[in-house]
Amino acid sequence: MSVQTIALLVLVGLLAGMLSGLVGLGGGVIIVPALVFVLGFTQHQATGTSLGILLLPAGIFAVITYYKQGFVDVKVVMLVFVGFLVGGWLGSKLSVGMPEALLKKIFAIVLLLIAGKVLFFDK
């Protein structure tokens, strides 16, 4: 792996970590597009890599900071975690059998829907 690639990967992680700590975004919104468009990963490779980062305790310091301020409801975290476990497994089963082009379209549509909700329909 080249020094440039290593530097880009660290930069992607830094940006994703900062946005994750700031507004709760990171994996899908920053890491996946950066890996695809900047580093030439396939959509499947980028998704798998992002999940590898997410599933490891990469955000532990951000969580501790928010927890200390009373912004983490552990019961809610555990319930969403259970759903995420099952949903992540089901989603990965669907994704790996899907054509790359379809997966990219689904990813883009989800981002557009979220952006539209935040821009125009957020109270």
Spans of all domains in the chain: 3-120
Q: What percent of the chain has a predicted confidence (pLDDT) above 70?
A: 92
Provide the 8-state DSSP code for 121. S
Q: Choose between 35 and 18: higher pLDDT.
A: 35
Of 46-50, 70-74, 95-99, which range is least confident? 46-50
pTM for the full predicted model: 0.68
Distance CA 86, CA 8 (A): 32
Q: How many helices (H) and strands (E) does the chain have?
A: 6, 0
Among all chains, which residue has been given the structure tokens 């379209």? Answer: 105
Distance CA 106, CA 9 (A): 25
Query: Residue 4 above 90 pLDDT?
Result: yes
Burial class of residue 4 (count of CB atoms within 10 Å of its CB; 0-12, 13-18, 19+)? exposed
pLDDT at residue 102, as a whole number:
92
Task: Tell me the per-residue pLDDT of 21-55, one tens digit each, with 9 for 90 and over.
Answer: 666 676 678 888 888 889 999 988 888 888 778 76
The 8 Å CB, 24+ separation contacts for 105-110 are: 107/28, 107/32, 107/43
